[in-house]
Amino acid sequence: MEKQLSYREAIEKARNALCRFPLKNVRGVPLMEPIAQNFEAIWAFCPDPSDLLIATYPKAVTLHILFRTGTTWTQEIVDLLLHNGDAEACKRAPTAVRIPFLEIHSPPPIPSGLDLLGTMSPPRVIKTHLPIQLVPEGFWENKCKVIYVARNAKDNMVSYYHFDRMNKTQPEPGPWEGYIHKFMKGELGWGSWYDHVKGYWEEKEKRNILYLFFEDMKENPEREIKRIMKYLDLTLSDDVISHIVELTSFKVMKENPMANYTFIPKPIFDHSISPFMRKGEVGDWVNHFSASQSQLFDEDYEKQMKKANIPFRTNI
């Protein structure tokens, strides 16, 4: 990035080159074209053993494309834990700059995730939506800590659908009815939700991955934040933890310009179509699925998740 440009200015400058990028297959996984074109460099990235990876299927929470799972939420929690609950320190820059998105590539002068990481010293916190088989091997060789956040398929899909409506760098979502089929077939960016959640689940013990659920975080944020704290070998007082619970509530984060993605200009993220911080609830899927769509989805889910035994909850 040209030194004098802020992240927002860089995006403004590249505005004309930004568009709804098509998806291209990388080892069987559909990824946005600029990511696919740069995948060799992403694959070659070698983290420091002290780096921490936050992995999610999109809309678990980030910049161009997360998988509506709670990524952004977890990023904010981790940043606050690492800064002992100091809210001002965590407003030093937007989420996407504080916690670079490993694979993201956009037209210059927008810095790629790799560009941003190159300007930071370890220990760094890094975001990815890559399925486990596409995560650079250095993360495993260096035994980096990895936090994975999963969200039930129906809410995840609803969130992703609205995100695809408002994010003008993602393919058009098309009608809801068709979107369900694309999701079930793994045709959305970052591929199959089913393979994504199973891939990390199957490896979580062997690779020391902390596997979290969005629904657990909603049910008892204090408990889940403490789990993250312990995983990171941190010790914070109960008062600080309560403060972090408050600062990372949906209501507070929605109003935080450094965490709510309003720093991305409107022609790219159009919050008037659907805000990035949309509802942040468990069970909003009931407002989207018809009875027959829900039945069709459930039947397919049974087949795709057979033997997986992952304790997802579609309501709490």
Q: Which of 99, 117, 264, 277 binds ligand PPS (CB under 6 A)?
A: 277
Given the complex with ligand PPS, which of 72 and 169 has the nearer CB atom?
72
Using the contact rule CB under 6 A, the part of the chain among 67-75, 79-87, 130-138, 239-247 near ligand PPS is 67-75
Given the complex with ligand PPS, which of 143 and 266 has the nearer CB atom?
266
Using the contact rule CB under 6 A, the part of the chain among 63-71, 103-111, 196-204, 231-239 near ligand PPS is 63-71
- Asked if 154 interacts with ligand PPS (CB under 6 A), we say no
Q: Which of 105, 154, 162, 182 binds ligand PPS (CB under 6 A)?
A: 162
Instruction: Write out the binding residues for ligand PPS, residues 70-109 only, by CB under 6 A.
Output: 70-73
Which residue among the candidates 64, 105, 129, 196 is catalytic per the annotation? 129
Residue 125: name the closest of 69, 86, 74 by CA.
74
Token pair of 160 as six digits = 């992703």
Using the contact rule CB under 6 A, the part of the chain among 44-52, 59-67, 200-208, 228-236 near ligand PPS is 59-67
Given the complex with ligand PPS, which of 26 and 170 has the nearer CB atom?
170
The whole-angstrom separation of Cα 243 and Cα 236 is 11
Instruction: Write out the binding residues for ligand PPS, residues 229-258 only, by CB under 6 A.
Output: 248-250, 253
- Asked if 278 interacts with ligand PPS (CB under 6 A), we say yes
The whole-angstrom separation of Cα 14 and Cα 164 is 20
Q: Is 105 a catalytic residue?
A: no
Q: Contact, 52 vs 203, CB < 8 A?
A: no
| Shortest Cβ 228–ligand PPS spacing (Å) | 14
| Shortest Cβ 209–ligand PPS spacing (Å) | 17
Token pair of 219 as six digits = 């049910």
Q: Contact, 168 vs 20, CB < 8 A?
A: yes
- Asked if 62 interacts with ligand PPS (CB under 6 A), we say yes
Given the complex with ligand PPS, which of 184 and 188 has the nearer CB atom?
188
Pairing type for strands 145-150 and 209-213 reads: parallel
| Shortest Cβ 141–ligand PPS spacing (Å) | 26
First and final C-alpha spacing in the chain: 44
Residue 167: name the closest of 113, 119, 96 by CA.
96
Angle at 288 between CA 284 and CA 290, to 5 degrees: 125
Cis before 123 (ω within 30): yes
Given the complex with ligand PPS, which of 137 and 246 has the nearer CB atom?
246
Q: Which of 13, 204, 227, 279 binds ligand PPS (CB under 6 A)?
A: 279
**3-state SS, one letter per residue, for 112-172:** CHHHHHHCCCCCCEEEECCCHHHCCCHHHHCCCEEEEEECCHHHHHHHHHHHHHHECCCCC
- Phi and psi for 76 in degrees, rounded to 5? -65, -45
Q: Which residues bind ligand PPS (CB under 6 A)?
A: 56, 58-62, 65-73, 159, 162-163, 248-250, 253, 277-280, 284
Catalytic residue list: 129
